[in-house]
Structure 1
Amino acid sequence: MTPGFEEGLKLAPFSLNRVDKQAFLLQRVRELCLHHQQHCQAYQRILAAQGCNLQTVETLSALPFLPVSLFKTLSLSSVAAEAVVKTMTSSGTSGQQVSRILLDKSTANLQQKVLVKIVSDFIGTARLPMLIIDSSVVMKDRSLFSARGAGILGFSLFGRNITFALDEQMALDHQALKAFLMKHRGQPILLFGFTFMVWQHFWQQLKATPGLYDLSQATLVHGGGWKKLQSQAVSPEQFARSLQQVTGLQRVSDYYGMVEQTGCIYMQCEHGRMHASLWSDVIIRDPQDFSVCEVGERGIIQVISALPESYPGQSLLTEDEGVLLGEDNCPCGRKGKYFRVLGRLKNAELRGCSDTYAAQL
């Protein structure tokens, strides 16, 4: 019997096999589509223009999807204005339009609950001493408090004794770093940062003095765009290896996510694969006709989320290219699809936290 959504929230994030997960997600996401059709006039018009009959849809891949860029031009909401408790914005360079995501209390709570369950599956449930590879100014300046600030705030749930590694000029705060590592010597610690900033402001400043700081007990979780690093010919493998050589860091885990589907992030396992949880899915589509690609074929990443109740963000076509690697058989033991992100589509806007910051820098 397919679990209902509330029952599904109690399950482990990678516990259902393909058949059971697809049935669970189809039921939930179709309900979300019907909900938004009834409560969001713009979404209703989009479905009508497509001639979409949600009642006849029998597979996830047949459900309608929206281009993620639509949130930059339309205010899409399925709740009354007074029910909105938080407005999330994507990162953007100067003059660039940003996505605006309107959250009610229920959706915000769901996002936080699912984020905790997914990340805890990879790093454990204990709150670890946490070093954030960023400046605390990002949390004070409201003009910067977008996807970057929200990412820091979200991952702070997993930490205690939170310390920022960079000062207001984005220089390494040696005093704060030394005090943090001294206090937690010999303990497991958690590092979090956006990919380009970890490389540009952490590794670049430490590489002149390898071994100055011992991070052999640390786990680094990082995310955001790879576009700038790819232009510098830095691969994920080189990124992790370089940090290890300078700090002794052994455990590095990337994640894939976006402000348009906060909460449903895709964490990288110890075998380097991004994993879709019980509450999310990925579909790779052919850029020519949007047909579903087979395992091993490159295409546009479509992301599915069971969470958005306040806005129609349950099925989005991204501006990223990826490849599905398999399902239910990753050596790490987690069920569900696993995939690799190959980068931004050519001519797509710069929009990742790290890539946007890199462009501004």
Structure 2
Amino acid sequence: MSAVSPERIFSLQAGGLEAAALELFRFQYDNNDIYRAYTDALHIQPGAVKSILEIPYLPIQFFKTHKVVCGAFEPELIFESSGTTQTINSRHLVKESAIYARSFMTAFEQLYGPVSDYVIVGLLPSYLERQHSSLVRMVQEMIERSGRQESGFYLYEHDKLYHELQALEAQGQKTLLIGVTFGLLDFAEKYTLQLEHTIVMETGGMKGRREEWTREEVHAFLKKQLGVQVVHAEYGMTELLSQAYSRGNGLFQTPPWMTVLLRDENDPFQLTTGKAAGVLNVIDLANIYSCAFIATEDIGKIHADGSFEVLGRLDNSALRGCSLMVS
């Protein structure tokens, strides 16, 4: 059986995910040694799986200990999670870089319009200082595709960033300021702005650089200091090739080839599409050649319209940069 093609995945319409997911599940069972061993250990017969609720979801920790790949290939990209010196980082071997680029560009432009309309400003200290960050790769390509000379990365040049944002505002230029949470907070503590043409988007993550704030505290502070009505957010991680976006209030929307389910914290094989809080399982069909079915360590809630919130992390999770804690 061949893999589900990127063309099919990225042209999915509403309601088309389940059939594609079941097809990709069978491909990955046949071609991913770790996923097949995990599925077999659960005594799940692939032919008996008829819905996404019955698909086995691979615990995300396997990306720390195994090569989660379909077949043998030389990866075009290697993504590695951030962490501390005491933690083992996840590694995601990406067979085709073009699939990643198509995934993040299509998802962004479906919600926000052409990236060429924006100046892209990346405030990603610590991420820029290490190799193999999927977030840096994404923002780098967005910067390039924006075609704007003002687009670029900032490490700790807060004064330069402040004056650049003022100049862009004076021009009425649409701008995306995308930053790791502690970087945005560090900047906003030093400067106040009234941003009318700029989207402020946080990507999560304190990384031990600051005390943990709740999402509400972070967003309230950024709104006050930067003069924006809402703070946007991006939900992604090393082990995925797709992102969900929030255009306010911490409510994330997924692209058509990505969805989330909830599992019971005490019974990891009990899945639901209901509204109750639980632990997030993610389907990311862009993960064609690794594993599209991931059991994360993020606690969340799914709403009736399909949007979801991230409410925190499981207590025994390693420190990661992909979500904010809430009380």
Alignment TM-score > 0.5, same fold: yes
Structure 2 residue 92 is the aligned partner of structure 1 residue 68: no
Match of 2:197 among 217, 220, 233: 217
Q: Which has the higher mean CA deviation after the structures are superposed, 53-62 or 265-274?
A: 265-274
- Correspondence list, 1:170-189, <5 A: 170-172=156-158, 174-175=159-160, 177-179=162-164, 181-182=166-167, 185=170, 186-189=172-175
Structure 2 residue 137 is the aligned partner of structure 1 residue 150: yes
Q: Secondary structure at the match of 1:349?
A: coil
Match of 2:226 in 1: 247
Match of 2:122 in 1: 132
Match of 1:256 in 2: 235
Equivalent pair of 2:264/2:278 in contact (CA under 8 Å): yes
- Correspondence list, 1:20-169, <5 A: 21=15, 24-82=16-74, 84-105=75-96, 108-127=97-116, 128-135=118-125, 138-139=127-128, 141=129, 143-156=130-143, 159=146, 160=148, 161-166=150-155
Q: Secondary structure at the match of 1:112?
A: helix
* Bigger relative CO (Cα 8 Å, ≥ 6 apart): 1
- Distance in 2 of aligned mates of 1:87 and 1:194: 21
C-alpha distance after superposition, 1:244-293 (max 9, x if no partner): 3223223421121111112x211113454111221011111111123224
Distance 1:177 1:165, change over 3 A: farther
Q: Secondary structure at the match of 2:122?
A: strand
Structure 2 residue 284 is the aligned partner of structure 1 residue 301: no
The runs of 4+ residues in structure 1 deviating greater than 4 Å are: 226-232
What is the letter of the counterpart of residue 102 of structure 1? L
Structure 2 residue 298 is the aligned partner of structure 1 residue 320: yes
- Distance in 2 of aligned mates of 1:49 and 1:222: 39
Structure 2 residue 246 is the aligned partner of structure 1 residue 277: no
Offset at residue 239 of structure 1 (A): 2.4
TM-score (norm 1): 0.78
What is the letter of the counterpart of residue 342 of structure 1? L
Offset at residue 31 of structure 1 (A): 2.3
C-alpha distance after superposition, 1:194-252 (max 9, x if no partner): 122211x211222xxx3xx44222111221236869954x3333323322322322342
Offset at residue 151 of structure 1 (A): 4.5
Structure number with the higher helix fraction is: 1
- Distance in 2 of aligned mates of 1:240 and 1:271: 8
Q: Secondary structure at the match of 1:113?
A: helix
Distance 1:179 1:119, change over 3 A: closer
- Distance in 2 of aligned mates of 1:184 and 1:252: 17
Unmatched segments (≥5 aa) in structure 2:
none
Indicate the RMSD between aligned Cα atoms, in angstroms: 2.8
Q: Secondary structure at the match of 1:116?
A: helix
- Distance in 2 of aligned mates of 1:158 and 1:326: 35
Offset at residue 294 of structure 1 (A): 5.6
- Distance in 1 of aligned mates of 2:168 and 2:309: 37
Match of 2:245 in 1: 267
C-alpha distance after superposition, 1:155-199 (max 9, x if no partner): 436643313343xxx352x23542453256222211111122211
Unmatched segments (≥5 aa) in structure 1:
328-336, 356-361
Distance 1:317 1:7, change over 3 A: closer
Equivalent pair of 2:64/2:90 in contact (CA under 8 Å): yes
Match of 2:11 in 1: 10
- Distance in 2 of aligned mates of 1:292 and 1:52: 15
Distance 1:157 1:60, change over 3 A: farther
Match of 1:333 in 2: none
- Equivalent residues, number: 316
TM-score (norm 2): 0.85
Q: Secondary structure at the match of 2:25?
A: helix
Equivalent pair of 1:285/1:299 in contact (CA under 8 Å): yes
Distance 1:180 1:295, change over 3 A: same
C-alpha distance after superposition, 1:116-159 (max 9, x if no partner): 12211332214211222235x854x5x44424433433543664
Equivalent pair of 2:298/2:323 in contact (CA under 8 Å): no
Equivalent pair of 1:194/1:224 in contact (CA under 8 Å): yes
Match of 1:237 among 209, 216, 227: 216
What is the letter of the counterpart of residue 30 of structure 2? Q
Distance 1:87 1:38, change over 3 A: same
